[in-house]
Structure 1
Amino acid sequence: MRAGERVYRTLRDDIQQGVLSPGAVLAEVEQAARLGVSRTPLREALDRLEAEGLAVQRSPRVTVVADVDLAQIRDLFAVRRALEESAARLAAVQPADARDPFPALAAAFERADATDDVAAYYARVAELDAAIEACVANDFLARSLQPVRAHLGRVRRLASDRPERLRASAGEHALIARAIAAGDPDLAAHATHVHLHHALASIERTLAPATTDRTPERIR
């Protein structure tokens, strides 16, 4: 793996997981030393993070982790609904052999308690996302989803992992996987819509109180 790609993935993961919080300065010298690279691949990685909206340049020499804006989160979910509902619908109409992974994925969501191992739960969600993309096999859709998903990890963690929401979310993902396995495109799209509606509502309930006395609505 190229150094620039490795640095990009590390910084992206650190931003998504909250290791680098909104407003954190991404100092070139400090980050290059921390990651054991020269400043050239670091700059390449920072350029990609800026292009995805995960970092912003405050001045020619200062790049920081982007703030989280509730209006932007709502815009993100509007795009996410359009893409993920379409992806679920398309997956459900693929040949039966292409839908082989989904019964096992549904069973995994139904068996596990998402609150026992949150990291494992999010890994399972990523596995379902990857299975849907592989089933649909549409490069244009996959590339469109990539920047959307780059923002989702940090949004989830900033909103906190509430046990009741995690349990409900696991059931919602199980229904999506079951609908795709059954070849039911309408149910797959509707289940995805319901899941995203509840996910956004949960994020808004968690983040909105922190914006009561702030204009615009922004979390740092």
Structure 2
Amino acid sequence: MKSRRARHVAGDQGGRSARVYHQLRDLIVRGRLAPGARITEVEAATKLGVSRTPLRAALQRLQQEGYVIASHSGHRARVFVAPLTREDSTELMHIIGEIEGLAAHNAALLNPPLRRDLVATLTVLNQKLARAAAAQRPDADTIFKLDVEFHTAFVVAGAGPRLLALHQAIKPQAERYGRMYAAALTDAIHKSVEEHGVVIRAFAVGDADAAQRAVIVNWRNAAARLSEVVEIAGERGSW
């Protein structure tokens, strides 16, 4: 059996690794670590104020989740921020659509008072999104945040712990694309607003299958729109 001190050290390392993971993931999602940028252990450990042991554990987790990739040369592995590509964006958005579709199915089966509250919240958010998109100078950050809030509202309402954990692990990867290409996507937001309206109407009548379908369609259409933008604007960080 491990001694109390050994368990304490292991727990401390695990806590540091989790902190480093979240710090690095946030930097990647927000674009502060650019797609294709190399992450060196010495530099990253120094900047984050940790040893290389928790850093390596964090990088391994980030690699498993697709935020970083490793390029092996001999016995050494060089770690890079995962690139943003059309193929990856389409796969991500289709996966998220399935996850959020399940959450929407569950949310549509909530009791009527809870559903009414959810519909009211979603309606307000979608109206704000429509106004933001119709502005003379649409603010990409505002539009991005409102869209995230809209989807988060029904996911939190309908997802169980496992589904929510899956969503929280993969959704930030799609947010990388939203942040990078937000300005180019603002012209198509009115289409998302219309698709959100279909989602809201399904919740309003408690039609679980329709809500699930509407969310999946919204994400698949978003994937197609993003694919066009990436094709025009170019992929980021790919070789």
Q: TM-score range by the shorter chain?
A: 0.7 to 0.9
Distance 1:170 1:114, change over 3 A: farther
Does residue 192 in structure 1 map to residue 205 in structure 2?
no
RMSD value over aligned CA atoms? 2.8
**Greater C-alpha Rg:** 2
**Deviations along 1:132-191, whole A, 9 cap, x unmatched?**
233224223223323331310112234343321234334433542453244232442233
Once the two structures are superposed, the pairs formed by residues 154-173 of structure 1 within 5 Å of their partners are 154-161=176-183, 162-173=185-196
Mapped pair 1:58 → 2:56: no
Pair 1:170–1:19, CA change in 2 (3 A): farther
TM-score under structure 2 length normalisation: 0.75
User: Are the counterparts in 2 of residues 80 and 148 from structure 1 also a CA contact under 8 Å?
Assistant: yes
Q: Distance in 1 between matches of 2:132 and 2:54?
A: 37
The 5 A counterparts of 1:141-180 are 141-161=163-183, 162-180=185-203
Whose helix proportion is higher, 1 or 2? Answer: 2
Q: Which amino acid aligns with 2:80?
A: V
Out of 117, 122, 125, the residue aligned to residue 108 of structure 1 is 125
Unaligned runs of 5+ in 2: 1-13
TM-score if structure 1 supplies the norm length? Answer: 0.81
User: Partner residue of 2:22?
Assistant: 9
| C-alpha distance after superposition, 1:18-44 (max 9, x if no partner) | 221221011112222222333232222
Equivalences for 1:1-220 in 2 at 5 Å? 2-59=15-72, 60-99=76-115, 100-112=117-129, 113-115=131-133, 116-161=138-183, 162-209=185-232, 220=238
Question: Given that residues 195 and 218 in structure 2 are in contact (C-alpha distance below 8 angstroms), is that contact kept between their aligned partners in structure 1?
Answer: yes
Aligned partners of 2:144, 2:36: CA distance in 1, in Å?
25
One-letter identity of the residue aligned with 1:20: L
Say which SS state the counterpart of residue 110 (structure 2) adopts: coil
Instruction: Say whether the 8 Å CA contact 2:36–2:237 is kept in structure 1.
Output: no
Give the Cα–Cα distance (whole angstroms) in 2 for the partners of residues 135 and 119 of structure 1.
24
Q: Which moved more, 1:150-159 or 1:112-121?
A: 112-121
Q: Larger deviation: 143-152 or 7-16?
A: 143-152
**Stretch of structure 1 that moved more, 62-71 or 49-58:** 62-71
Contact 2:128 2:146 in 1 (8 A): no
C-alpha change, 1:111 and 1:157, in structure 2 (3 Å) is closer
Matched-pair identity in %: 32
Q: Which secondary structure state, in structure 2, belongs to the residue aligned with residue 56 of structure 1? A: strand
Contact 2:69 2:80 in 1 (8 A): yes
Instruction: Specify whether residues 137 and 149 from structure 1 end up closer, same or farther in structure 2 by C-alpha distance, changes over 3 A only.
Output: closer
Partner secondary structure for residue 47 of structure 2: helix
The secondary structure found in structure 2 opposite 1:2 is helix
Q: CA–CA distance in 1 between the matches of 2:62 and 2:38? A: 13
- Shift, 1:65, TM fit: 0.6
